[in-house]
Structures are given as C-alpha cells and as structure tokens.
Amino acid sequence: MVSPRKSRDPQTLRPATRLVHGASLRSQFEETSEALFLTQGYLYDTMEIAESRFKGTEPGFIYSRFSNPTVTMFEKRMALLEGAEAARATASGMAAVTAALMGQVRAGDHVVAAKACFGSCLYVVEDLLPRFGVSSTLVEGADLGAWAQAMRPNTKTAFLESPTNPTLEVIDIAGVAEIVHKAGATLVVDNVFASPMLQRPLQLGADCVVYSATKHIDGQGRTLGGVILASEAFITAHIHNFLRQTGPSLSPFNAWVMLKSLETLPVRVAAQMRSAEKIADYLADHQSVVRVLYPGRADHPQAALVKRQMSGGGTLVTFEVKGGKAAAFKMANALSIIGISNNLGDAKSLLTHPATTTHQRLKPEARAHLGIGEGMVRLSVGLEDVDDLIEDLAQALDAPGAQARHAAE
Ligand SMILES: Cc1ncc(COP(=O)(O)O)c(C=O)c1O
C-alpha cells in the first residue's frame, strides 16, 4: 500500500515556498487552488457543538465578521511570511492602523508618532485619539533623541512608517524600539512602503506590524485590505476583541484575491525593485532632475541604515525635476505609459505629485519642513519592461512643451 504523501512544516520552508503552499485549508474536494468561502455563517451539527464553539473549547468557524476559512488562510499565510505568531486581516490598511492603535489605549494614555506618516494615520493620532482622551506627540522620526524626549510615564504606544512617504526617509526601527520599550510602551510599524519582502519590523524589535494590503500584497490594483501582525499575546490583548466587536472585517472575496497574490509577491517585488534601481540610476544622471531619493542608492542620506534594516531599496523612486510645479506637471502630463495616480505597489507604474495631491492639505511651510518640494514627484514602479518605462520618462522629461497625455495612442 502506498503511504500518504508527507507534508512539510511550513516553518521549515523558504519564504517563496511558504507563500505558495503555506496555510492552505483544503476542503474535501482536494482543490489545488485555495477555495473562496463566500459565506456569512456556519452550520453546527448539534446544539452541543454550537455551545462548545462559542465557549471556545472546540475549534471551528462561527461568523464571518471574525472567522472565515478564506480570511484565515490569508492571515496565516501572512503570519508565515512575516515570522509572526498571529495575524488579523481588516477591510483596509486604515482599519488595521486604527485597530492597532485604538485597541491598545484608553483615556489618559499618550501616543508618540513620527511626523512623516500617511495623512490618514496622522488623523487617527492627532484628531481621533485626542477626542477619546488620548494625547499625542509628533516627532522627527529620524531623530532618536526626539523619540526619547517624547516618552512619558503614560506613553502606551509609538507609531512610525519607514521608508516614509514621499521622501523615502528611513527611520531606525531597532533604535526606536529600544527607546519605546525602555519607556514601557509598544512600537507599531506601518511597513507598507518596504513591503514584507524587504523589511521585517518584528525582527527589528517592533511589537506590531500593519499593512495596507491594498498596495504590494494585492499588487494589481484591485482590492482594499489590511493586516495586523504581532505575537499571540498582543493580538489577544489588544486586537482580537476590538476587531470582533467593531467589525472592520476583510471580505472573503478580497482575502481570496490577496491570498492568491501572495503566491507571486516575491517575484513581483523583486522585478519591480530591479526596475526601480535602474530607473533611479537613469534619473540621477538626467540633466532635468535635481535630486533622486531612492533607498537602494549609495547616495541615499541614510544608506548605511538602509543596509542594516532593509534587504533592498524598494519599488518607489522619488525625484525632483528642475523648474518646480510647472515642470513636474509638464513632465507628468507628457507620460504615455506611466499613469498619474496617488496609489502605489501596483503592476502598473504610477506617478504622483505629492505637493498638490497627497500632501496638499499641509501648509507650504510644513511641506518644506518635510522636504516635499514643488518639483517633487513619487514614482511607484510597476511590472512593465523597464526600457519602456525609461523611454517614457526620457520623452516626458525632454518634452519641449506641454503635451496631451497619451498623444501616441
Ligand atoms: C503608508 C500607508 N499606510 C496606510 C495606508 C492606508 O491604506 P488603505 O488605503 O488600504 O486604507 C496607506 C494608503 O495609501 C499608506 O500609503
């Protein structure tokens, strides 16, 4: 008789293999591709089984606001990738950030965050938490002394994003974690820009990692989602009940799209990063470009720190064109392949002008303080042939006058 095939413990597999085979919950049909369980609820064979599921004495699904097989597969595969004990999926990246912060605090607590965070994250820290009696302090993320100074006896948690948007400044995650832990607080890191392939905040000392899975994890611009990863104890103490009772759940459909996307995440991020490196080098030599900010280049202001905490420069390149806003607009309007969009981490290359879009609400002095110039654009490099992207940038940077977009079509 042939004995059943052995299956390997996913923990012993390399990341790319974990992302293809890890955390599959195969049904009785033995499908190769993971199933999409579009169901709100579950049937219990007996009243006794229902009782024990609710008591938690028997494993099983109860209600899709907080437990669904497809969502569970996505969460477990993310945890395998990140090296986290536990993960919870959310409806969007902002639902993940909000839960990771609100789940930890109560009135009278204090939160410290880096100034250069995504605008909606700043809203949570600066506007939302104070409404519930939680005070906050914003610091220069790269200044470890500022983090130490901001800590108070009632500081519960700290929050940062690295690399930052749009200047791709890198914050010393291990350094901040040490300061925060000394003060008895926790550190939450928004790892969206690096992606889980290039930076592992938990290994650097963070207590919790959050993602907008909308970005590299979906990677093809389709679905919104978020993930929170941490130790089992952190998730149990701060996250599980908050999500279960308040309900910002990831739909099983979106979880399925993202679960399948994880299978291709390593090849996508590697290819996008190879192109980003080439594009950054091309732009650095271009006469119409004042400066290029790319964490993978030796001239990045924190190149040594990048080497210590990231395994690559990422898929985003920020650069400043000569001639300010007018020149940036002229160049962007002349692009024929690269799209104009504030989104990132997509198979399609996307370019945005932060001063007039993502950061337009800031006062000009605040933008200047963050290093966001009028001629600055942020490019999210996609999966197109890099030579086509470079040709597109070349013709747009050399465009003699304002041209109609997609003139070649
Ligand atoms: C760094 C960062 N964090 C969080 C978010 C929020 O993610 P979502 O749009 O999925 O809510 C974004 C979205 O652009 C982001 O760029």
Nearest Cα residue to atom 9 of ligand 1: 93
CA distance 131 to 128: 5
Residue nearest to atom 12 of ligand 1 (CA): 212
From ligand 1's centre to the CA of 409, what distance in Å?
Answer: 32
Q: Is the CB of 316 under 6 A from ligand 1?
A: no
Enter the pTM of the model. Answer: 0.95
pLDDT recorded at residue 399: 78
| Across 43-71, average pLDDT | 96
Q: Read off the pLDDT of each residue in 383-395 and give the average, rounded to a whole number.
A: 98
Can you give the pLDDT at residue 5?
Answer: 77
Q: Secondary structure of the chain: what % helix, strand, coil (to 5)? A: 40, 15, 45
pLDDT more than 90, % of the chain: 92
C-beta of 92 in contact with ligand 1 (< 6 A): yes
8-state DSSP, 6: P
| Residue 81 near ligand 1, beta carbon < 6 Å | no
**Per-position DSSP letters for 306-322, written without gaps between them:** HHHH-SS--SEEEEEET
Position 204 pLDDT exceeds 90: yes
Distance 89 CA to ligand 1 centre (A): 14
Q: Tokens 């901040």 appear where?
A: 176
What pLDDT, on a 0 to 100 scale, did the predictor assign at position 401? 54
Strands 339-340 and 350-352: parallel
What one-character-per-residue DSSP string does 143-174 give? -HHHHHHH--TTEEEEEEESSPTTT-----HH
Supply the pLDDT for residue 6.
81
Is the distance from the beta carbon of residue 192 to the nearest atom of ligand 1 less than 6 Å?
A: yes
**Res. 409: pLDDT tops 80:** no
Ligand 1 atom with the smallest distance to the CA of 213 is 10
pLDDT digits 0-9 by tens, 5-16: 788 888 889 999
pLDDT confidence of residue 8:
82
Q: Tell which one of 215, 257, 358 to mutate to probe ligand 1, the residue whose CB is within 8 A of the most ligand atoms.
A: 215
Q: What's the order of all strands across the beta sheet hosting 86-90?
A: 86-90, 226-230, 208-212, 186-190, 155-161, 110-114, 135-139
* Ligand 1 neighbourhood includes 312 CB (under 6 angstroms): no
339-371: pLDDT as tens digits? 999 999 999 999 999 999 999 988 999 899 999
8-state DSSP, 41: B
pLDDT tens, residue by residue, 209-228: 999 999 999 999 999 999 99
Give the pLDDT band of residue 400 (cuts 50, 70, 90). Answer: low
